[in-house]
Structure 1
């Protein structure tokens, strides 16, 4: 496929076994230039194993993974020249200052301290004169983020990058990632903060028990979720509960009725409510959280 050829990251049926335990069973997705791809799933679903395989730390047991058309394990050294990575837990040299560590990270990536580095330090309000042993978890994250955003890479991997950051710095992180996207860079973002993923990502991959169960844009996936509707009508709506795709019809104490409806069944339900003379109506569109909970709190699977 042409799309696969254009992809910076191409993963096809990736598998990873640790003895008898199969951590990755079937992971398949692509990431393209100028795209932020959200990679979500709970602890133990296989996110970190996938990322460690992409970084060449682990060798896959089956399937393929290529970055820039090169094998992630065999060609890891040349791949790392065009890649930036921030883990969720950053460990730093305790006796070096934040500034010294940033410069060391940049030197390791054949990059120099630049005006961009100074801009990122100012943006994240990081005191680079302090030794790393005095830093909070959030400040350790900032050191890694400043170094990553100062690097002119083509592919960025962020694994729970805002862990320990306050809401203001989370927002700064999001803004900085969107700048990478505008510059045509490819970003893989693994995060448990669903609102962050929803705000930033063009497409999303949901991993469950080592298998990618769904990929696509949020609007593509919305047909899999339900819209919550709250309404009041002049005439009674006793037949509503019998409609296809309608769930959890509840009469609230304030006289409003609440229910959820499968997105592909909204039209006939709205026609029915209109015929009963609507007094008030509020609809809440499905969110990424709804979709996520569908996969993890039910046996629906796909």
Structure 2
């Protein structure tokens, strides 16, 4: 069942690009990763979903409701953590949380108390006294306090220490078990790899690829470094090697073809040193951030 549906969503700022014909479908109960370099269009997409900005064309729906004309109804059942947290400086943490609770129906105060304890927030502190990480913890509690059916997170772990990051994902996994849908925009590729079911990669306002995380893992790309007195770069390319560097008799390349072909080729030469390791999923993602063009 689709909870979030985005069709040909476009947002332009005069002559500047925002997003261009973005299409996404997020299913009920999944953690959906949304990654890309700075300026790729992640926050623009999210702000359009939340009706904080209006689309130039296309449409976005949550719960089958239009994100522009039915945004008030949608917001009853969603939570949102922005990448940059801004509150009134002179309000206390308790005042912020109580104010957030006043907008939601059937808030479980016991659950809110658990969140306050889990994330170790100091209710008496004023916002201006808080660090970036502590402000982010307040935003997380505000987003979670009504156990939202949809949770939209824009760089939620920015500023959080590793222990709090883990506590956050423990809460997200528990919400997922209860049927909540989580849309996670992040630069932290390791957390995307560990916790997301699917991921969309956006670059220059366009979706490059949408895949299940397990499909990326099945690519089993290997990173190979070999040292030999012979320059066999051309032969490596012929069997599918993607050359990264070739310096001082050492060739570094990525390889995802039949490993037996590689072994057969290397057996013809005197190899001084050989390192073969599985390429991390984050390294695979990085190829989209760097040199590849819309692949």
- Short-chain TM bin: 0.7 to 0.9
- Name the structure 2 match of 1:20: 15
**Cα drift, residue 95 of structure 1:** 2.4
Alpha-carbon separation, structure 2, partners of 1:240 and 1:17: 44
- Name the structure 2 match of 1:3: none
Alpha-carbon separation, structure 2, partners of 1:102 and 1:41: 32
Query: Does 1:266 find its partner at 2:259?
Result: yes
Alpha-carbon separation, structure 1, partners of 2:217 and 2:253: 13
The structure-2 alpha-carbon separation of the partners of 1:259 and 1:154, relative to structure 1 and needing over 3 Å to count, comes to: same
Alpha-carbon separation, structure 2, partners of 1:291 and 1:104: 43
Query: Does 1:83 find its partner at 2:78?
Result: yes
Alpha-carbon separation, structure 2, partners of 1:125 and 1:272: 58
Match of 1:115 among 110, 113, 130: 110
Normalised by the length of structure 2, the TM-score is 0.87
- Name the structure 2 match of 1:145: 140
Q: How does 1:1-302 map to 2 (within 5 A)?
A: 6-112=1-107, 114-222=109-217, 226-230=221-225, 242-243=235-236, 244-246=239-241, 247-248=243-244, 259-270=252-263, 272=265, 283-302=276-295
Alpha-carbon separation, structure 2, partners of 1:43 and 1:249: 27
Indicate conservation of the 8 Å contact 1:223/1:263, yes or no: no
Indicate conservation of the 8 Å contact 2:91/2:127, yes or no: yes
In structure 1, the gaps of 5 or more residues are 1-5
Q: Does the residue aligned with 1:170 lie in a helix, a strand or coil?
A: helix
CA-atom RMSD in angstroms: 2.8
Indicate conservation of the 8 Å contact 2:108/2:146, yes or no: no
**Cα drift, residue 111 of structure 1:** 4.5
Alpha-carbon separation, structure 2, partners of 1:107 and 1:271: 69
**Cα drift, residue 38 of structure 1:** 0.7
Indicate conservation of the 8 Å contact 1:103/1:113, yes or no: no
Question: Once the two structures are superposed, what CA deviation does each residue of 1:39-69 show, in whole Å capped at 9, x if it has no partner?
Answer: 1112211111100100012221122211101
**Cα drift, residue 205 of structure 1:** 0.6
The structure-2 alpha-carbon separation of the partners of 1:222 and 1:112, relative to structure 1 and needing over 3 Å to count, comes to: closer
Alpha-carbon separation, structure 2, partners of 1:281 and 1:36: 39
The structure-2 alpha-carbon separation of the partners of 1:249 and 1:209, relative to structure 1 and needing over 3 Å to count, comes to: closer
Indicate conservation of the 8 Å contact 1:226/1:261, yes or no: yes
**Cα drift, residue 19 of structure 1:** 1.7
The structure-2 alpha-carbon separation of the partners of 1:227 and 1:26, relative to structure 1 and needing over 3 Å to count, comes to: farther
Q: Does the residue aligned with 1:8 lie in a helix, a strand or coil?
A: strand
* Residues paired across the two proteins, number: 292
